[in-house]
Structure 1
Amino acid sequence: MSSENEEYVDWRGKKMDPKRHGGIRVAALACVVEVLENMVFLCNASNFVAYFLKSMHYSAAESSNMVTNFMGTSFLLTIVGGFICDSYLTAFTTFIFSCILELLGLILLTIQAENPNLRPGMNTGPSEYQAAILYIGLYAMASGVGGIKASLPTHGADQLDRGNQRLISAFFNWFFFSLVMGGMIASTVMIWVEENKGWNWSFKISIVVLILALLIFTIGGPFYRNKIPGGSPLTRIFQILASAIKNRKASAPERQLEQTSSHSNPKRDGKYHFKFLDKALIDGSINSVEVEETRTFLGLLPIFGSTIMMNCCLAQLQTFSVVQGSIMNKALHGFQIPTQSLVVIPQLIMLASVPFYERFVRVLGDTQPQTTKFFHPLRRIGLGLALASASMAIAAVVEVKRRGAAENHVTLSVFWLLWQYLLLSFSDFLTLGGMFEFFYSEAPNSMRSMSTALSWCSTSMGFFLSSVLVSITNSVTARLGHEWLGGVDLNHSRLELFYTLLCILNFINLINYIFWAKRY
């Protein structure tokens, strides 16, 4: 049995059989489950702004920040879920517990949606009791989502041979396909249900779908191979950092390459960073393999940090873009189009692009192997960041046009928002898909789940950064005489200036990313 296979056990904790456990078929189950889970998550998150405004009677700014905080917390908690997977529980067990927790949150929100006494009356805000129910349900959901999104992609990829990079890359491309498919169902079927049947039906359907996802995932249990948790990687990292600092004045020992050659990342030959970590080897309790793992993980962090600003731009699709669309002309041949459903067109294009991309890379890899470096995850991420900056520039122009039309008592068509939806959707495809592959492939064996969770954690940081920027922008501009994003009427705000600010910040961030990507 190979050393890689020795890292895995079956559902009973016994050594796995490579002929029976793992493989493409059970990895595909993770993709099927992700379609259902992401549909539940996005169908609720995408319309939370309208729900908080119309049913819970929060202001536009409060509603936007509540959504970004909810989604930010969901994605931030993936790092906790990844830590649990790497340290104490298998990804399989983490998924089961997390899915049950998300279900409990959904059930509580369903009870609130069904009972008028648990929602505020007309022209009044929610009471402390009603707000408490809302927040408990929301953050039970957020905790469950965090565990699911940390465990599911890693669990699916663990079913495959990690040495087959093309297969790993293909899995994450199809996993992103599943994310988009779930998002498209949320943007069409579930949005229609929410607007025509009410939130109570949306919650009921979400509960049924999430139970179905749990059952499908559980059915594959006897055929999964589960990675054995290896104890707390964060504890080891902190020990190595503390030891390196303690011994900072001592002479570092020579690198023991013969001990680390099988564990270091061959893609990073010649990229020897964080040399001060070698001083941790002076302590006899720390070996060179642990130092190399810490060096590799720390090397991922600048790339992770450089993607946060892009996700701040992406947060606008869930917040201000929804508010824009709510006061624009949504009619198409007598049919009222929900603003959130605008994302369907770029989603359809992305769904078609994944099989096209896979086919193109396969053919190109067979005929011109040297050109496949163009599809390296770092290049894909960089292109995604560039598109995010361009999308904010276009969003600013569209908002200027919308406000100008409103001043002339003309309601602009909601289809003008399609451009920012299209560019940000492609930016998300390139950036998030690239991060999945990059962090999983580059991560040390003992930190695979936690490193992959950095992809989601970047999304979290971006949503929180969006909330911070909104608050800072309002505070600064209020002192200058007029809040850019104040009040409930967008026609009296300066959203186009906020979009311009995001464009500039994201362009600066792109330059920062290029610096770190070249050094990696």
Structure 2
Amino acid sequence: MRAACFVLAMENLAFLANASNLVTYLTGSMHFSPARAANAVTTFMGTAFLLALLGGFLSDAFYTSFRIYLISAVVEFLGLVILTIQARTGSLKPPECHLLGPSSRPCEEVSGGKAALLFAGLYLVALGVGGIKGSLPAHGAEQFDEETTQGRKSRSTFFNYFVFFLSLGALVAVTFVVWLEDNKGWQWGFGISTVAVLLSFPVFLAGSATYRNKTPTGSPSPLLRGAMERKPIHQALAVTVEEVEEVKVVVKILPIFLSTIMLSCCLAQLSTFSVQQAATMDTRLGSLTVPPASLPVFPIAFIMVVAPLYDHIIVPFARKMRGTESGITQLQRIGVGLVLSVLAMAVAALVEVKRKRVASLTGTVHSAAPLPITFLWVALQYLFLGSADLFTLAGLLEFFFTEAPSSMRSLATSLSWASLAIGYYLSSILVSIVNSVTNGNHQKPWLAGGNLNSYRLESFYWLMCILSTINFLHFLFWSSRFKYRPALRRG
């Protein structure tokens, strides 16, 4: 478990160090518009998380999760090397300019071979990240004996600390590495990320002799297994009663999976519009200037405090009070996260109203100067969404692992990341739909242009709040009808 957690921290450091600040890199160095940068970031992160399904499938069907991790880490390493070289070499980037200011010359957006190099690096990273996230959670959970009560409790602890170490890597990413990117150059940020992935190799390999590695089944699906073995269709469709029950289990957990996508769409805002909001505000804390991309430090620190308290105080207390092994069920944790996402979007809308009012009152709507309002107001939405992520991600990972058939556990835990992927894609689609619907009658689209102060971002956040509320009601409908599998039958 220790090796998996260290590797997780290093990988998440490498991924989030760049993802959390990528919108700044794309607008500042590659000269994307704010809306295009937001869509590019959400598409990149969505692809990375969606590729976890591929990593999970390959782990279950053909290779062990151990091998998939090693292959994926090499791919991510190569992508980071490409991005480091491009960030360091001026001839591989468009000419420098200022997006806002007195200059009337438009900035030249990256194109041609330079754009191809940028996206090649980004999507190699996405492929590597997907493979790691699709294999590592199941690999760690497989090390525990689920036939004993203590083994199941230890596995639950693993998933809690999985989120803790995700946050540890993220903490270094959004503070130290983001500071390097903003003050020393992006080549430093990409370089540190490259080294972090490289350091994870020897640590992971050190415990290889003691790992439990599940034997791949050939395919987690009976129908796919028959097709891959080139059986006639009537033989491929001939399945056992146990295999039919496995399919029923998969169908039963899908509505829960669908219920978490809207939360992931809300989380996408932390990497896009929330960063751009903070960039227009006063980011000073005393004598220290905080990079906008470091805002996630607030929910990250909160998660790192609450996760151990949850595992060592809240869960034991709940077990004692309720007389159950789990104390708090996975679906209850997920439900708390969904409620927090509704509150987060309401807070985000109110903060944006306040930010724009300050811009209007001070006559700085069209100015590039920071608004006289502290960026800590934006930190509130980060805190709510970070808390939602804590409850939902750990609950989802454990829920999918314990409820899925043993032949599909890597693929099932990958659904947690697939939810994030679809949420990021949905965020991009929503931005496009909102702009299309609101463009007309002599009005600008809500989320278009180069100046965030002219956006109708508060209206977009209220829309997200309404959709999140509907989504929570959808979750309540399905979760109230869900029946957990008996612990001894999950293997």
Q: TM-score, normalised by structure 2?
A: 0.90
- Equivalent position of 1:432 in the other structure: 393
Q: Distance in 1 between matches of 2:352 and 2:236?
A: 60
Q: Does 1:466 align with 2:427?
A: yes
1:381 matched to 2:334? The reply is: yes
Once the two structures are superposed, residues 348-407 of structure 1 have per-residue CA deviations (whole angstroms, 9 ceiling, x without a partner) of 221111111111245326643426665101011011001101100010000000000001
Conserved 8 A contact 1:365-1:372 = no
Residue among 25, 31, 35 paired with 2:5: 31
CA contact (8 A) 2:62 2:216 kept: yes
User: What residue in structure 2 maps to residue 263 of structure 1?
Assistant: none
SS class of match (1:411): strand
**CA distance in 1 between partners of 2:222 and 2:84 (Å):** 40
Aligned residues of 2:352 and 2:457 also touching (Cα < 8 A):
yes
Pick one of 311, 314, 326 that aligns with 2:267. 314
Aligned match of 2:284: 331
Distance 1:287 1:309 in 2: 36
Task: Report the AA paired with residue 188 of structure 1.
Answer: T
Q: 1:359 maps to what in 2?
A: 312
User: Identity of aligned pairs, percent?
Assistant: 45
The corresponding residue for 1:347 is: 300
Tell me if 1:449 matches 2:402: no
Change (3 A) 1:406 1:362: closer
8 Å CA contact 1:160, 1:167 repeated in 2 = yes
Tell me the distance in 1 between the aligned counterparts of 2:10 and 2:456: 38
Separation of aligned partners in 1, 2:193 and 2:295 = 21
Count of residue correspondences: 455
Change (3 A) 1:138 1:189: same
Q: How does 1:289-300 map to 2 (within 5 A)?
A: 289-300=242-253
Give the partner amino acid of 1:346.
Answer: P
- Measure the CA separation in 2 of the matches of 1:509 and 1:237: 32
State the partner residue of 2:118: 134
Displacement of 1:197? 1.0
- What is the match of residue 168 of structure 2? 181
* 40-49 or 219-228, which deviates more: 219-228
Match of 2:201 among 199, 210, 214: 214
Partner of residue 144, structure 1: 128
Residue 408 to residue 284, structure 1, CA distance change in 2 (3 Å): closer
CA distance in 2, matches of 1:445, 1:72: 27
With 316-325 and 336-345 compared, the bigger mean Cα shift is at 336-345
Look up the SS of the partner of 2:373 in the other structure.
coil
Please tell me whether the aligned partners of residues 345 and 381 of structure 2 are also in contact (alpha carbons under 8 angstroms): yes
Take 2:236 and 2:84, find their aligned partners in 1: how far apart are those partners? Answer: 55
What is the CA distance between 1:76 and its match in structure 2? 0.2
SS at match of 2:372: coil
Residue 153 of structure 1 corresponds to which residue in structure 2? 137
> Deviation string for 1:4-58 (max 9, x for gaps)?
xxxxxxxxxxxxxxxxxxxxxxx22101110111011000101110000010111
Bigger shift: residues 499-508 or 206-215: 206-215
Compute the displacement of 1:283 (Å): 8.7
Cα displacement string for residues 82-135 of structure 1 (whole angstroms, at most 9, x for unaligned residues): 000000000000000000000010111111111111101132121211000001
Contact 1:361 1:372 in 2 (8 A): no
CA 448–212 in structure 1, closer or farther in 2 if over 3 Å, else same:
same
Which stretch shows the higher mean deviation, 400-409 or 337-346? Answer: 337-346
Q: Deviations over 1:154-194 (max 9, x none)?
A: 10111111233212111100111010111111111111111
- AA aligned to 1:155 is H
Q: Does 2:11 match 1:49?
A: no
Q: Which residue of 2 aligns with 1:67?
A: 41
Q: Which secondary structure does the structure 2 equivalent of 1:375 belong to?
A: coil
1:120 aligns with 2:94: yes
The verdict on how the C-alpha distance between 1:145 and 1:395 changes in structure 2, with shifts beyond 3 A counting, is same
Contact 2:431 2:447 in 1 (8 A): yes
Partner of 1:421: 382
Which of residues 314, 334, 352 is equivalent to 1:399? 352
Q: What is residue 489 of structure 1 aligned with on the other side?
A: 451
Q: CA deviation at 1:340?
A: 2.2
**TM-align CA RMSD:** 1.8
Aligned equivalent of 1:503 = 465
Alignment-derived partner of residue 236 in structure 1: 223
Report if the CA contact (8 A) 1:28-1:156 is conserved: no
Q: Which residue does the alignment assign to 1:196?
A: 183
1:102 to 63, 76, 81: 76
CA distance in 2, matches of 1:366, 1:507: 30
Q: Deviations over 1:170-223 (max 9, x none)?
A: 110011101011111111111111111110011111111110012211111111
The question of whether the paired residues in 1 share the 8 Å contact of 2:223 and 2:236 is answered with no
- SS of the equivalent of 2:168 reads helix
Residue by residue over 1:225-276, the C-alpha shift from the partner in whole angstroms, topping out at 9 and shown as x without a partner, is 1100001123536979xxxxx9xxxxxxxxxxxxxxxxxxxxxxxxxxxxxx
> Which position in structure 2 is the counterpart of 1:251?
none
CA distance in 1, matches of 2:207, 2:246: 31
- Whether the aligned pair in 1 keeps the contact of 2:316 and 2:327 (CA below 8 Å) is no
In structure 2, what residue type is equivalent to 1:193?
Answer: L
CA distance in 2 between counterparts of 1:484 and 1:478 reads 8
Structure 1, unaligned runs of 5 or more: 1-26, 241-245, 247-279
Task: Write the distance in 2 (CA, Å) between the matches of 1:196 and 1:129.
Answer: 27
The one-letter code of the counterpart of 1:314 is L
For the residues of structure 2 that align with 1:220 and 1:502, how far apart are their CA atoms?
Answer: 45
- 3-state SS of paired residue (1:124): coil
Unaligned runs of 5+ in 2: 97-106, 228-232, 363-370, 483-491
